Amino acid sequence: MTVVTTSSSTATFTINGESLEVQAPGGRRLLDVLRRDLGLTGTKEGCGEGECGSCSVLVDGEVVNSCLMPVCQVDGHDVLTVEGLAADGGPLDGVQSAFLEAGAVQCGICAPGMLMATHALLASDAAPTDASIREAIAGNLCRCTGYTKIIEAISAAASVPGGSRVPSVALPAPRPVSSLGGGPLAMRARSLEEALELVADGWRPLAGGTDLMAGLAAGTIAPDARLVDLTAIDGLRGVRREGAELVIGALTTYTDLRRSVEVATSLPALAEVAAGIGARQIQNRGTIGGNVMNASPAGDTLPLLLATDARLVLVGPTGERAVDAADFFTGYRRTAHLDDELLTAIRIPLLADRQVRFRKVGTRRAQAISKVVLAMSWRRRDGAPTWSDVRVAFGSVAEVPIRAIRAEDVLEGSIPSGEAAERAALAAQVDVRPIDDVRSTAEYRRAVSGRILRRIVLAESRG
């Protein structure tokens, strides 16, 4: 197959009820298309890396950061911005009115994103409790009004009907729009075969974009990078059980993991991990495959994959192969995959009587990069009191996610007790090899690694 590329591509989508055909470089940020090409300046730019939420919009009803989404990925989808909440010259919708009445709006930079995050919450199945409201807006920063009035406004809006006023009618032919600026070249692959051919030709895989797009904005990724968007390949997403294995497609998002009945039944710790990665905007876009291939030592899913003996399925020109997670991370942000291979799935064995625990220590509860992350598992065979098949894995304490072999040896064959907890904690402090950096000191990370392992073992000793 021969792939012909140009500097621009066409994305056809609806925005606030209007159908558009936008001619732009596929890697151009949706935020830039909205503000600069379409004049929809209600969507604000703040941090440019997915932390402040000022650029939040809804795509197919899900809240996302438009600064982290290339325009090629909205092709065929529906986009709603703050301008679409009320018709020009018409009344405000219920959420906007509630924010004004509660005094929850001040400078106007964060307000549009807060409104969009609120709409996503109120349109979902989640009950608007104090906890769910706080989680829904965890990815939206406010430094003027504070959160008390915002939470009051959202609670009030929950009892007032009046969501989006965008009409659901047949749309006319798309209006053509030409981009006013540039961006990286990006193409959407429609099949795994097409994606593999582009990757073999040097194109960089793009999934959720939560790291890659931030890297482009920060200049750590070259602006002339060629991106192959994988998100249209449906076969790479989803969770299923095959025999005694849980199979997770590489494009499965953290939101998908949280919503998966199979994950909740077979491996609930994975849903717990997904719930602590970023906020809703990140969880709706970020993928488990991206977390694996990014290979950050702070990647939250990686210790859990080590602790559950996961296998990573790679596909390349010569076919498919599986690599044990324990052998996959070869150095700082380096993996055992070949340049012409793509990660397609993660296979996790589901062992009888296995228990899995997860702990994350960060600066704050939401949107925090881990200072230390721990996942561990064990089995009690045939109801025996002793632990077997013990796995202890850490992240953020070495150049790669690691297995704490000394701690595992202490706990293997033991009965959880105060003594076992203390010995395992001391062993873990030897296993880890942290460094001082801007987030923490090596001394702190070493102490915390032992402490959280000790607490898990002590909790199990008490039944």
**Model confidence over 363-419: pLDDT tens digits?**
876 677 899 999 999 999 888 899 999 999 999 999 999 999 999 999 999 999 999
Using DSSP's 3-state secondary structure scheme, residue 240 falls into: strand
- The full DSSP string for 103-164 is T--SSSSSHHHHHHHHHHHHHSSS---HHHHHHHTTT---SSS-HHHHHHHHHHHTTS----
- Maximal C-alpha separation, the chain: 72
Please provide the distance, in angstroms rounded to a whole number, between the alpha carbons at the two ends of the chain.
60
Q: Which tokens in the block code for residue 262?
A: 């199979």
* Sign of the dihedral defined by the CA atoms of residues 59, 64, 65, 67, in that order: negative
Q: CA 226 from chain center: how many Å?
A: 22
Question: How many whole angstroms from its chain centre is CA 79?
Answer: 20
Q: pLDDT confidence of 162, banded at 50, 70, 90? A: low
Q: What is the pLDDT of residues 179-211, one digit of tens each?
A: 888 899 999 999 999 999 999 999 999 999 999
pLDDT at 108: 87
Burial class (CB in 10 A: 0-12, 13-18, 19+), 29: buried
Residue 67 has φ and ψ, to the nearest 5°, of -75, -15
Is the Cβ–Cβ distance between 266 and 350 less than 8 Å? yes
How far apart are the C-alpha atoms of 147 and 133, rounded to whole Å? 10
Q: What is the pLDDT of residue 368?
A: 77
How far is the C-alpha of 373 from the C-alpha of 370, rounded, in Å?
6
pLDDT at position 233, please?
97
Q: What angle do CA 140, 229, 264 make, to 5 degrees?
A: 60
**Does the pLDDT value for residue 3 go beyond 90?**
no
How many angstroms separate the CA atoms of 151 and 133, rounded? Answer: 7
Section 229-254 average pLDDT: 97
Q: What integer pLDDT is reported at residue 192 of this predicted model?
A: 97
DSSP letters spanning 307-369: HTT-EEEEEETTEEEEEEHHHHEEETTEES--TT-EEEEEEEE--TTEEEEEEEE-SSSSS--
pLDDT at 72 over 80: yes
Residue 1 pLDDT? 44
pLDDT higher than 50, residue 164: no
What is the residue type of 309?
A: D
Tell me the three state secondary structure of residue 172: coil
Give the per-residue pLDDT at 382: 83
Q: Is 87 within 8 Å of 165 (Cβ atoms)?
A: yes
Looking at residue 438, what is its pLDDT?
87
**Whether residue 433 has pLDDT greater than 80:** yes
User: What would the two tokens of residue 158 be?
Assistant: 């929950």
Element (H, E) at 78: strand 78-80
| pLDDT at residue 123 is higher than 60 | yes
Establish how many alpha carbons lie within 13 A of residue 456's alpha carbon, considering only the half-sphere containing its beta carbon.
25
Q: Are strands 204-206 and 226-229 parallel, antiparallel or unpaired?
A: parallel
How far apart CA 365 and CA 384 sit, in angstroms, is 36
Residues present in the chain in total: 463
pTM confidence score: 0.94
What does the pLDDT read at residue 171? 65
The pLDDT assigned to 2 comes to 42
Q: Where are the alpha helices (DSSP H) in 172-249?
A: 192-200, 212-218
pLDDT class for 54, splitting at 50, 70, 90? very high
Give the per-residue pLDDT at 173: 86
For 288-307, the pLDDT digits (tens) are: 999 999 999 999 999 999 99
In this predicted structure, what is the pLDDT of residue 87?
A: 79
Q: Write down the pLDDT at residue 383.
A: 82
What is the model's pLDDT at position 180?
A: 80
Dist. CA 192–CA 345, nearest whole Å: 12
Instruction: Write down the pLDDT at residue 377.
Output: 98
The DSSP element (H or E) to which 94 belongs, if any, is helix 94-102
Beta pairing partners, 348: 246
For residues 406-434, give the mean pLDDT: 97
Q: Do 176 and 21 contact (CB within 8 A), yes or no?
A: yes
SS3 9: strand
Look at residue 302 in the predicted model and tell me its pLDDT: 98
